[in-house]
Amino acid sequence: MSDSNRPLPPQKKPRFLSALFFTHMTQGLTTTLPYVIAVYMVRDFLAAQDPDGLPPSEEHVGALTGLLGASFCAAQLITSYPLGMLSDIVGRRIIIIIGNISCVIGVLFFGLSSNYTHAVLSRFAAGLFNAIIGAEKAMIGESLDSAQQAKAMGHISLMWGIGTMIGPTIGGLLANPCDSTRGAMRWWIMNNNSPSKNLNDSTISAVIANSTSSGTISSGSVNGGGGVCSQPDGLFFRKPYFLPCVAASLLSMVATALTIFYLDETLPRMKKRGDIGGSVGGTRRRGYMPLGSRDTRAESLNDDDFNGVGEVQLIETALQIDNEVEDGVGGKERVAVEEDYDGSLDDNNITTNHNYSEEQRATRSEKTAAHLELSLPWYKQRNVLLCLSGYSLIAFCFILLDELIPIYASARVIDGGLGFPTSKLASPLAFGGFILVVWALFGFPWMHARLGAVKCITLGLIQTAPMALLIPCATLSWSPPAATMWLAMGFKAIAGTNAFTGCIILVNVVAPKESLGAVNGVGQTLASAVRAAGPALGGLFWAWSLTLFKYLGFESSWGHQFLPFLFGAMVALATLGVYAKVKLPMETRIIGASSPPSS
């Protein structure tokens, strides 16, 4: 086995994966943190611009918040593919380091934004240099075998779930710290000065004044920590959303340090090699090449015996033969497929259809066509295009649901919503995050080892359709809203892990090893496109369903909530058709279905 394709040594694997996983966690954090504080930032920016001090309209706030949320993914849409191609040249590691540094700088500037334009530009710039996710997937595909990839992708989903839980928590706890100190002071007074805890505001003010004058507490404590919250020049008073951004940037700094010191390069051409093939940047793997046509041998055979004069032949190329089976994507998997064709070569390395039945000829022809496809550029390979299309549809389906759920939960009951305050919605979302962590850590690797990637995706999409329709059922009279939402969010976590993780593994399996960065770059580009469009489309579908009910003359708009979720279910079912066309003749060997991954 050549060094360029050998998996990581066992002693290096823990620190390598730790750097990848922690980086992915910070990606989830820095992606979701702005969603929590963006709407409050927009309100403050608009209020500061209004000369009369009037509150901004909800329509204006919603539109600007959606654009601010989409700016990060819109920038990734522009640069994910070029950076993916660049990673095939300069390596994966440097792309991840640059992405982490852009997160550190971008989130700090976002917290320091003094107006809406600055906030949009900071998010756009952070996304412009961030192609981390695509490079991560390529690294996993190049450094781990098939069974280990299932575990790694499960942990990737796990870390994303943890990041998406930490981001909103940091945003909620640390945003606007100067305004929240009075709440902290109230808690201190009520727990230290009054057992009855029935103090009114005037009594609290008097206690604060007496405590300050007597020296029990400092005036800096009352003002939320002294200089940073002093009016009007305190840093956190002027920049109330900077503190959570500082916390996020510190975590991104840790991720940057881990990638610099612990992340080894996995791009084959960037590794040190002692063989000739490595010295010229090639990869030593089993391969096939066209060798003219059968015209030269057709003279001695009639049409019935030959059945296809001029058909391209395949011979094994000695230059690229490796006597050992490679590991990783494009290794065991691709060689396993290719070995099926070894038996079809006669002693002269030339295949003939002599003495084969029509069924055998058809089967061999299909195998030959499938193998020929492996030699095509990735953008001409049917399986690659189908898997990328399926990945983008899955991403679209779930970003649509992610946008619809808070709109639906916060809408008035009369408008088909649940009327949930933020605190009531937080519990089912947190439960869904917990289920995601448990399933990604224990459930998915076990299931993938027995079913394989394609069946995991199929199961996840089949689960997604009823899950999407279960969510609006929380408004039905017989359904306890909170309990139904808890059930739906847990169901959504399992379905999403099955579909997303499975499709990521499958993309790595079908992608040519030499183009893994470009393929994953395209995947991230497509995902960025739907993540940029998804927030806007979710709100539009909700509004369109309301408008449709009014247009049809319904007295009440109740019931319209099922339409946008029905659309999400239809997208999931349509995606099943895409994966039904993916043909992997050696899938059972690709996925290692015969045995679970080793622990």
Q: Helices (H), strands (E): how many in the chain? A: 24, 2
String of DSSP letters for 322-360 = -SSPPPSTTTHHHHHHHHHHHTT--TTS----TT--HHH
Q: What is the pLDDT of residue 299?
A: 38
Q: What is the pLDDT of residue 458?
A: 95
* Overall average pLDDT of the 40-45 stretch: 80
Residue 232 has pLDDT above 50, yes or no: yes
In-domain check, residue 3 = no
Q: What is the pLDDT of residue 429?
A: 76
In-domain check, residue 89 = yes
Let me know whether 139 and 168 are in one domain: yes
Q: Give the pLDDT band (50/70/90) at residue 441.
A: confident
In-domain check, residue 1 = no
Q: Are 95 and 68 in contact (CB under 8 A)?
A: no
In-domain check, residue 540 = yes
Residue range of the domain that includes 59: 10-176+240-277
595/461: higher pLDDT: 461
Let me know whether 164 and 256 are in one domain: yes
Q: What is the pLDDT of residue 467?
A: 95
167: which 2 tokens?
A: 């981001």
Let me know whether 452 and 531 are in one domain: yes
SS3 219: helix
Q: What is the pLDDT of residue 452?
A: 87
In-domain check, residue 36 = yes
Q: Which of 141-155, 194-208, 290-304, 528-542 has the lowest mean pLDDT?
A: 290-304
Q: Are 8 and 264 in contact (CB under 8 A)?
A: yes
Q: What is the pLDDT of residue 576?
A: 95
Q: What is the pLDDT of residue 357?
A: 61
Q: Are 142 and 269 in contact (CB under 8 A)?
A: no
374/398: higher pLDDT: 398
Q: Which of 136-140, 352-356, 381-385, 517-521 has the lowest mean pLDDT?
A: 352-356
Integer Cα distance of 425 and 443 in angstroms = 26
- Count Cβ atoms below 10 Å from residue 553 Cβ, excluding itself: 6
- Which of 374, 394, 411 corresponds to the end of one domain? 374
Residue with tokens 């001090």: 53
Residue 351 has pLDDT above 70, yes or no: no
Residue 275 has pLDDT above 90, yes or no: no
Let me know whether 446 and 421 are in one domain: yes
Q: What is the pLDDT of residue 92?
A: 92
Q: What is the pLDDT of residue 152?
A: 81
In-domain check, residue 265 = yes
Q: What is the pLDDT of residue 372?
A: 59
- Which of 311, 340, 374 corresponds to the end of one domain? 374
pTM: 0.61
- Count Cβ atoms below 10 Å from residue 342 Cβ, excluding itself: 9
Q: What is the pLDDT of residue 459?
A: 96
Over residues 133-188, the pLDDT tens digits come to 889 988 988 888 777 876 787 678 778 777 877 776 677 677 778 764 434 434 34
In-domain check, residue 76 = yes
- CATH number for position 492: 1.20.1250.20
Residue 373 has pLDDT above 50, yes or no: yes
What does the mean pLDDT of the chain come to? 72
Let me know whether 306 and 262 are in one domain: no
Comparing CA positions, the residue from 404, 415, 388 lying closest to residue 569 is 404
In-domain check, residue 598 = no
Give 389's contacts (C-beta < 8 A, 6+ positions apart): 578
Let me know whether 168 and 26 are in one domain: yes
Let me know whether 476 and 408 are in one domain: yes
245: which 2 tokens?
A: 């951004």
Q: Distance between terminal CA atoms of the chain?
A: 24
406/57: higher pLDDT: 406
176/506: higher pLDDT: 506
Residue type, 379: Y
Q: What is the pLDDT of residue 259?
A: 95
Residue type, 437: V
Integer Cα distance of 423 and 420 in angstroms = 8
Let me know whether 450 and 528 are in one domain: yes
* Overall average pLDDT of the 115-141 stretch: 91
Q: Give the pLDDT band (50/70/90) at residue 241.
A: confident
13/340: higher pLDDT: 13
SS3 553: coil
Residue 197 has pLDDT above 60, yes or no: no
Let me know whether 105 and 205 are in one domain: no
What letters, b where the CB count within 10 A reaches 16 and e where it falls short, cover 450-478? Answer: ebbbbbbbbbbbbbbbebbebbbbbbeee
Q: Give the strand pairing for 314-316 and 288-290.
A: antiparallel
Q: Domain count for the chain, please give it.
A: 4
In this structure, what DSSP letter does residue 583 have?
-
Q: Which of 49-58, 159-168, 476-485, 589-598 has the lowest mean pLDDT?
A: 589-598
Top-ranked range on mean pLDDT: pick from 69-83, 243-257, 504-518, 542-556:
243-257
Packed helices 242-262 and 146-174: angle between N→C axes, nearest 10 degrees: 150
Report CA dihedral (392, 166, 564, 464) to the nearest 10 degrees. 60
* Overall average pLDDT of the 460-484 stretch: 89
Q: What is the pLDDT of residue 304?
A: 40
Residue with tokens 């007295």: 555
Q: What is the pLDDT of residue 389?
A: 92
- Which of 347, 374, 401 corresponds to the end of one domain? 374
Residue 378 has pLDDT above 80, yes or no: yes
* Overall average pLDDT of the 583-599 stretch: 43
Let me know whether 65 and 93 are in one domain: yes
Q: Which of 159-163, 260-264, 451-455, 508-512 has the lowest mean pLDDT?
A: 159-163
Residues forming a β-bridge with 314: 290
* Overall average pLDDT of the 84-106 stretch: 93
Let me know whether 151 and 195 are in one domain: no
Residue 494 has pLDDT above 90, yes or no: yes
313: which 2 tokens?
A: 């032949």
Q: What is the pLDDT of residue 355?
A: 55
Q: Give the pLDDT band (50/70/90) at residue 464.
A: very high
Q: Give the pLDDT band (50/70/90) at residue 477.
A: low
Q: Are 404 and 543 in contact (CB under 8 A)?
A: no
Residue 359 has pLDDT above 80, yes or no: no
Q: What is the pLDDT of residue 8?
A: 66
Integer Cα distance of 86 and 66 in angstroms = 31
Let me know whether 326 and 383 are in one domain: no
Q: What is the pLDDT of residue 596?
A: 32
